[in-house]
Amino acid sequence: MSVLEVKDLHVTVEGKEILKGVNLKMSTGEIHAIMGPNGTGKSTLSSTIMGDPAYKITKGDILLNGKSIIDLPVDERARMGLFLAMQYPQEIPGVTNAEFVKSAINARRPKDDPIPLMDFIKRLDETLETLDMSEEMADRYLNEGFSGGEKKRNEIMQMMMIRPEFAILDEIDSGLDIDALKVVSRGVNQMRGDNFGSLIITHYQRLLNYIVPDYVHVMMDGQLVKTGGPDLAIRLEKEGYAKLRDELGLDI
């Protein structure tokens, strides 16, 4: 079992404090969701966990299995088993999807033991089938000319191929129609198990009908202000954030 822990995390962006003491502990085998109004720091949290240098940690720590990762570069964190699916996935011209995924898999294996080609092809075929993706997608340059929905589906493809210990999915549902949402959810649900944990960031409860989380956290003004089960997401969808804000006595 692996454990990812965020401790009293304070983060500034361009000199402004965005995260104001976030605490979160998750283990493989668990799915956590973070909900919250726009602009409260959800994406800041995911980018900081992944190591984006634009986000400056002024206090607190991020630990993977008890070891601080905050001084490690992005690629090192990925090698250790973290995966971030971004709200706006990058395009990398000149690198095919399949090449990208294969090098990411091999980066997590010993240098003298790359994934055997047949194993790679089998895993790729199975993954593409689960996600209703064509084989042609794998040979295309990374995200180049992909539609919004294709990019999201592609991120889940990468996640399923790379098999990270923790996947952070930031608004993976935004801009997806209901069919694409179901496909993406199917991929995440197939990953569920003792060796996989996920942090799912979303505005809307709808995604959590398909990927039922173990824990739901609410972020407001740079802090996780409440934690509950799936019922908390349903309640928020019904009542909105304002009521919770009043209830918690938050002046924001």
Contacts with Mg ion, residue ranges (CB under 5 A):
38, 42-43
Smallest distance from the beta carbon of 159 to Mg ion, in angstroms? 18
Q: Does 57 bind ligand ADP (CB under 6 A)?
A: no
The CA-based angle 93-95-99, given to 5 degrees, is: 160
44 binds, among ligand ADP, Mg ion, none (CB under 5 to 8 A by kind): ligand ADP
Give the three-class secondary structure for 33: strand
Give the three-class secondary structure for 93: strand
Cβ(165)–Cβ(81) below 8 Å? yes
Q: Does 252 bind ligand ADP (CB under 6 A)?
A: no
For residue 235, what are the contacts with CB-CB under 8 A and spacing of at least 6?
none
Q: Does 240 bind ligand ADP (CB under 6 A)?
A: no
Smallest distance from the beta carbon of 42 to ligand ADP, in angstroms? 3
Q: Does 223 bind ligand ADP (CB under 6 A)?
A: no
Q: Decide whether 43 or 158 has the Cβ nearer to Mg ion.
A: 43
- Cα 117 from chain centroid (whole Å): 28
By CB under 6 A, name the one of 32, 33, 40, 84 that touches ligand ADP.
40
Cβ(129)–Cβ(160) below 8 Å? no
Give the three-class secondary structure for 246: helix
Q: Decide whether 106 or 227 has the Cβ nearer to ligand ADP.
A: 227
Q: Does 54 bind ligand ADP (CB under 6 A)?
A: yes
Q: How far is CA 109 from CA 50, 126, 139, in A?
A: 20, 21, 23
Q: Decide whether 18 or 207 has the Cβ nearer to ligand ADP.
A: 18
CA distance 24 to 143: 31
For residue 230, what are the contacts with CB-CB under 8 A and spacing of at least 6?
208, 212, 213, 216
By CB under 6 A, name the one of 4, 9, 11, 18 that touches ligand ADP.
18
By CB under 6 A, name the one of 11, 24, 26, 41 that touches ligand ADP.
41
Q: Does 248 bind ligand ADP (CB under 6 A)?
A: no
Backbone angles phi, psi at 168, to 5 degrees: -105, 115
Smallest distance from the beta carbon of 250 to ligand ADP, in angstroms? 15
Residue numbers 105-164 binding ligand ADP by CB under 6 A: none
Q: Does 102 bind ligand ADP (CB under 6 A)?
A: no
Binding site for ligand ADP (CB under 6 A): 13-14, 18, 36, 38-44, 54
